[in-house]
Structure 1
Amino acid sequence: MRRVTDNGFAERRKAAAEAKQQLLKKFETAPKPTDPEVLAKREERMAISAAREARRAERERLKQEEQDRQLAEAAALAEAADAEAKAQAEAQQAEMKERIARVVADDAERKAERDRRYAARKARQR
Structure 2
Amino acid sequence: MKNTRKDDLSDRRTAAADAKAALLKAHRSAMAAAEPTRVARQAERVAIASVREERRIERERLKLEEAKRLATEAADREAAAHAAVQAEQDARLAKENALIARMVEDEATRKAERDRRYANRKARQA
- Confirm or deny a common fold (TM above 0.5): yes
Shorter-chain TM-score bucket reads 0.7 to 0.9
Change (3 A) 1:32 1:99: closer
> Taking structure 1 as the reference length, what is the TM-score of the superposition?
0.75
Cα deviation for residue 105 of structure 1 reads 0.9
Gaps of at least 5 residues in structure 1 are 1-10
Cα deviation for residue 47 of structure 1 reads 1.6
Cα deviation for residue 67 of structure 1 reads 1.7
Report the equivalent of 1:75: 68
Matches of 1:74 and 1:90 in 2, distance apart? 24
Larger relative contact order (Cα-Cα within 8 Å, sequence gap ≥ 6): 1
Q: Secondary structure at the match of 2:106?
A: helix
Pairing partner for 1:120 from 110, 113, 116: 113
> Taking structure 2 as the reference length, what is the TM-score of the superposition?
0.75
Which has a greater percent of helix? 2
- Which of the two has higher C-alpha Rg? 2
Q: Percent identity?
A: 25
> What is the alpha-carbon root mean square deviation over aligned residues?
2.3
How many pairs were matched up? Answer: 111
Q: Secondary structure at the match of 2:61?
A: helix
Gaps of at least 5 residues in structure 2 are 1-6, 120-126
Pairing partner for 1:57 from 50, 56, 63: 50
Report the equivalent of 1:92: 85
